[in-house]
């Protein structure tokens, strides 16, 4: 059992604290928002993550998690490790905003009295560990004292919707350290979570910091590759699902992150891709491939929205558009950089009536759009009251509907951005079904007139970029 402090009761901080507590460690979570602490003590987790509310409630009941409002308070318990889980949102130029990381480091340096291992768990650019070390050392120098400490990098690899399992049963644990003592402390801490030495990957700090960006950008690249290929498949009369089968059976490729759709969203991929582009520019090495991954992702939304506007033209103004799915992916209420935002914005500009439904993300959408939208209470209501349907999130409850169900739509038309249904079955049921990369049996796809092969920015794409720049890190709190 170790004594641990976690800075920030946001997504990463709360998952980290709850999972460490579940293994018997004592965790002090630092959160300046007293209202958030009060809600957590009542069992109210401020975001949707399956299983997290139970884990937090159990830890509070067992007194393995406590909450304080300052780093100085947490340090009175003399934690061996302090995990910094603060936000690193994107700045307008794509760089990560490190102000919260730096503020936390300054507070740590102003208060530590015994050896402490400071661990950056936030997603931070290469070199951040060195900055944090310098800030803490500077604070100690101002105090005129010498206190031993280490700074390590331990990036998180948590999928929203499956974060508890990812933490408790990790594929790998990556740690970046500069001392044997830091490596040993982290190895002891994670020993209950891993089953083999190969899962614990110890490296230097810059390598660990870069690994996080490399992992997310690799996954984003696979998604963007398949999405661009899907548009070509539509133009050629090919079926992207069959193409996926053909390449996924190659053991060198596999089938993960090869589903064509309307692009990635959330707080991690958009932000981390932009940050890697910015890091390349700082080192005078343009990340040209990564730039195009970002461009393709934005263009995919433009292309999909264009399919709808081309189909209906000026008639969209008089249509009631039903939307299934508002979160950027299933099993989360996160709408940051979600495709739903770009489609809703476009439809509102066209003065369409927009009727929306999502199992858990409705409050977040309502907070953003208020009375500009109509909010359904079920997926069934969407079918009964809409002219046509747009599917943006592949929630399991949507997949239970039969093709015949969509005949309730007045126009009997479905635009599926997640390829949830079988095109042949939908056609046989009398539904006009337009998906992504599988339209060889439907009308040919069209490209926006502005498309020239370089993902030229459009008004819709510009809105996508604004949304991406506003995204924080996984709902994390600031110190």
Active site residues: 268
Residue 426: CA count within 13 A, CB half-sphere: 23
Helices (H), 191-319: 205-236, 240-248, 269-282, 288-312
Q: Is 235 left (phi over 0), alpha (psi -120 to 50) or beta?
A: alpha
Cβ burial of 247 (10 Å; 0-12, 13-18, 19+) is: middle
User: Is the dihedral angle over the CA atoms 56, 57, 62, 65 positive or is it negative?
Assistant: positive
Closest Cα to residue 98, out of 65, 124, 71?
124
CA separation, residue 105 to residues 2, 70, 71, 95, 454 (Å): 21, 13, 10, 19, 42
The side-by-side arrangement of strands in the sheet containing 320-324 is 374-375, 353-357, 320-324, 388-391, 413-416, 432-434
At a CB cut-off of 8 Å and minimum separation 6, what does 449 contact? none
- For residue 225, give the 3-state DSSP assignment: helix
Q: Are strands 3-7 and 26-30 parallel, antiparallel or unpaired?
A: parallel
Strand-pair partners of 82: 5, 118
At a CB cut-off of 8 Å and minimum separation 6, what does 250 contact? none
| Distance, CA of 82 to CA of 78 (rounded, Å) | 10
| Distance, CA of 164 to CA of 14 (rounded, Å) | 10
At a CB cut-off of 8 Å and minimum separation 6, what does 165 contact? none
At a CB cut-off of 8 Å and minimum separation 6, what does 450 contact? 456, 458
Main-chain dihedrals φ then ψ at residue 187, nearest 5 degrees:
-65, -40
The answer to whether the beta carbons of residues 477 and 67 sit under 8 Å apart is no
- For residue 108, give the 3-state DSSP assignment: helix
Tokens 């005129």 label which residue?
Answer: 144
The answer to whether the beta carbons of residues 82 and 17 sit under 8 Å apart is no
């Amino acid at each position: 059992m170790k004594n641990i402090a976690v800075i920030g009761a946001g997504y990463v901080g709360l998952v980290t604290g709850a999972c460490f507590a579940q293994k018997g460690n004592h965790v002090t979570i630092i959160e300046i928002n007293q209202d958030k602490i009060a809600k957590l003590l009542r069992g109210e987790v401020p975001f949707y993550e399956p299983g997290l509310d139970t884990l937090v409630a159990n830890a509070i009941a067992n007194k393995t998690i406590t909450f304080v409002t300052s780093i100085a308070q947490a340090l009175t318990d003399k934690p061996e490790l302090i995990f910094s889980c603060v936000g690193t949102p994107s700045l307008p130029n794509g760089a990560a905003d490190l102000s919260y990381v730096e503020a936390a480091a300054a507070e740590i340096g102003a208060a530590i009295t015994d050896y402490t291992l400071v661990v950056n768990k936030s997603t931070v650019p290469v070199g951040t560990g060195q900055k944090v070390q310098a800030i803490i050392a500077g604070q100690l120098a101002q105090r005129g004292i010498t206190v031993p400490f280490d700074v390590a990098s331990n990036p998180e690899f948590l999928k929203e919707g499956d974060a508890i399992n990812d933490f408790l049963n990790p594929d790998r644990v990556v740690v970046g350290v500069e001392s044997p003592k830091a490596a040993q402390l982290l190895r002891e801490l994670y020993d209950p979570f891993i089953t083999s030495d190969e899962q614990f990957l110890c490296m230097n700090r810059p390598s660990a910091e870069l690994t996080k960006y490399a992992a997310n950008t690799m996954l984003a690249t696979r998604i963007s590759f398949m999405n661009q290929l899907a548009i070509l498949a539509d133009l050629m009369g090919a079926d992207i699902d069959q193409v996926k089968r053909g390449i996924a059976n190659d053991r060198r490729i596999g089938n993960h992150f090869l589903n064509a759709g309307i692009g990635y969203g959330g707080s991690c991929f958009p932000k981390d891709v932009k940050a890697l582009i910015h890091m390349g520019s700082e080192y005078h090495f343009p990340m040209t491939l990564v730039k195009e991954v970002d461009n393709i992702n934005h263009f995919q939304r433009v292309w999909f929205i264009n399919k709808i506007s081309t189909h209906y033209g000026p008639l969209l103004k008089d249509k009631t558009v039903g939307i299934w799915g508002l979160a950027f992916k299933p099993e989360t209420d996160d709408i940051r950089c979600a495709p739903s935002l770009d489609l809703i914005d476009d439809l509102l500009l066209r003065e369409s009536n927009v009727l929306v439904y999502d199992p858990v993300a409705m409050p977040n959408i309502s907070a953003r759009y208020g009375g500009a939208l109509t909010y359904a209470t079920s997926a069934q209501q969407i079918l009964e009251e809409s002219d046509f349907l747009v599917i943006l999130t592949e929630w399991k409850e949507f997949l239970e509907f039969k093709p015949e169900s969509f005949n309730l739509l007045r126009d009997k038309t479905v635009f599926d951005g997640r390829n949830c249904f079988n095109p042949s079955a939908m056609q046989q049921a009398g539904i006009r079904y337009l998906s992504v990369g599988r339209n060889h049996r439907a009308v040919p796809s069209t490209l926006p007139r502005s498309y020239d092969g370089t993902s030229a920015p459009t008004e819709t794409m510009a809105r996508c970029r604004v949304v991406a720049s506003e995204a924080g890190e996984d709902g994390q709190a600031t110190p």
